[in-house]
Amino acid sequence: MLGGIEAGGTKFVLATGTSPDAITARHTIPTRDPATTLAEAAEWFAAQGTLAALGIGSFGPVELDRTSPRWGFITNTPKPGWADCDVAGYFAKALGVPTGFDTDVNAAALAEHRARGGGSGSLAYLTIGTGIGGGLVLEGRPVHGIAHPEVGHSYPRRHPEDAAFEGTCPHHGDCFEGLASGPAVIARWGKSLSELPADHPGHAIIADYIAQACHMLFASVAVEEVVIGGGVALTPGLVERVAERARELDAGYLPGGQRHAVIRPRLGGDAGIVGALLLAEAAARG
């Protein structure tokens, strides 16, 4: 039996399964303070029976360097109470099982890569919601450098109809997250993107920022697909608008550009938890 946790800033999704394709139980708990949330999650897993391994895809920033004594920690998150929280260490000790750990978006990227057939292909996963995160899988492996990719904190070109907005990111102001996340949409227009009228200029503005990120990923790391998930991405027509704008930005330049795709998750809302079970599977193999 494998266990998986999709650890988000709003909720923890917990699951067990005999494989990533065979989820046998699922449970969701609100993300409260670390002591309460982690204990409640551990108690649920203990009630499911003996686990062979656990995988965790977590909101971040997180420490992924296996040589670091802080591997498995959530580090300098702005979420109150969660900075310097040893998430992986807590569960490894509480459940006594091998534990895999990565970002929530890398976990989702792994799951989507597997869903498209696996192998040596490449893709990026963007989640557009309360924040913006990006995960990369190149040649079948998630990308880790000195840290993990932070696509949400890159700087897009400002849309000409959006020049006056200062952005909402507490660190960078008008970075990608500060311009295109759910809170950034509400800060400008007082409603979520899906609540705005179909002819509202906000749809084109947000699509442009997301398309710039897609083009950057196609041009810089040559991924074949950008998969777009998250609450903002559920806005009707947004992904199609992003795909069209990304093609316009490319202007026929990139080699193989016709094969680049911007799509919704094949696994829908299950990409994150399936990815967590894949991390558990890898941890069980050692």
> Rounded distance, CA 116 to CA 56, Å?
22
Amino acid at 70: R
pLDDT recorded at residue 119: 81
Model pTM score: 0.93
- As a whole-number percent, the residues of the chain with pLDDT over 70 amount to 100
pLDDT recorded at residue 139: 87
Q: Which pair of structure tokens corresponds to residue 111?
A: 């799951």
pLDDT digits (tens, 9 = 90+) for 33-64: 999 999 999 999 999 999 999 999 999 899 99
pLDDT recorded at residue 147: 66
pLDDT recorded at residue 148: 74
pLDDT recorded at residue 95: 97
- Tell me the average pLDDT across 73-93: 94
- Tell me the average pLDDT across 219-242: 95
- pLDDT-derived band at 121 (thresholds 50, 70, 90) equals confident
Residue 170: phi, psi to the nearest 5? -70, -20
pLDDT digits (tens, 9 = 90+) for 92-116: 999 999 999 999 999 999 999 999 9
> Rounded distance, CA 30 to CA 8, Å?
9
- pLDDT-derived band at 259 (thresholds 50, 70, 90) equals confident
pLDDT recorded at residue 60: 85
220-257 burial code (b ≥16 CB/10 A, e <16): eeebebbbbbbbbbbbeebbebbbebbbebbeeeeeee
CB 201 within 8 A of CB 207: no
- Check whether 118 has a pLDDT greater than 90: no
Residue 125: phi, psi to the nearest 5? -120, 120
Task: Enumerate domains of the chain plus CATH numbers.
Answer: 2-104+269-285 (3.30.420.40), 117-265 (3.30.420.40)
- pLDDT-derived band at 237 (thresholds 50, 70, 90) equals very high
Residue with the larger pLDDT of the pair 55 and 286: 55
